[in-house]
Amino acid sequence: DAGVTQSPTHLIKTRGQQVTLRCSPKSGHDTVSWYQQALGQGPQFIFQYYEEEERQRGNFPDRFSGHQFPNYSSELNVNALLLGDSALYLCASRLQGVRNSPLHFGNGTRLTVT
Amino acid sequence: QKEVEQDPGPLSVPEGAIVSLNCTYSNSAFQYFMWYRQYSRKGPELLMYTYSSGNKEDGRFTAQVDKSSKYISLFIRDSQPSDSATYLCAMSETGGFKTIFGAGTRLFVKA
């Protein structure tokens, strides 16, 4: 049973550049959420996608955008990178049809902005 | 004030000790409560998932929720060095899209 997979595992970008992170949800899951985890902090909610639409968004600027594809996989895009965007970006999936089913996480993409 | 407060530790205990990890929260609408374990360079792994108040036990782990006090706990019995990790509490509202996490408590179990 494939869990949540994310790519790439590590990424180094320069301030001002753009980055795209990718996620495939756990088999059978249809909802994908993205979280940002700074060093020593808990994950912070960025947004959630269900049925290819953004359903809710956390307190993140419009530089953060996403997309969900018909096969439920998802991308997170960050434009105009800032040094403060350096963090672990986590993708999590769940089954929307089961009320408040818990999130299952991938191992994340470690983004370093220099 | 943060919605979820969690002591970051670190907490260091000897092997075999009982570990108590705690979180407090301010949003009375939270109904679903979770504990995740996160090893270094890995994503969070779901340990316990409970609804509303009460206790839930799974092997060496026991989760407690006291909604009247807005306080949740995770107990680890017979702790092992392999339990050394960061433990994150998390919670969500009924029908809510987002899950709110605590900052995580770093636990070290010494052999």
What pLDDT, in 10s, does the model give residues A78-101?
999 999 999 999 999 998 777 778
Q: Collect all residues of chain B within an 8 Å Cβ-Cβ radius of residue A44.
A: 101
The beta strands (E) that lie in A51-86 are given as: 53-57, 64-68, 74-78
Q: pLDDT tens-digit profile of B28-80?
A: 999 999 999 999 989 999 999 998 888 999 999 999 999 999 999 999 999 99
CA of A43 to nearest chain B CA: how many angstroms apart?
A: 6
The answer, for A60 touching chain B at a CB cutoff of 8 Å, is no
Q: Which of residues 52-81 of B touch A (CB under 8 A)?
A: none
CA of A38 to nearest chain B CA: how many angstroms apart?
A: 10
What is the DSSP code (8-state) at residue A103? P
CB contact under 8 A, B97 and A48: yes
The DSSP secondary structure of B61-104, one letter per residue, reads: EEEEEETTTTEEEEEESS--GGG-EEEEEEEEETT-S--EE---
- For all residues of chain B together, what is the average pLDDT? 94
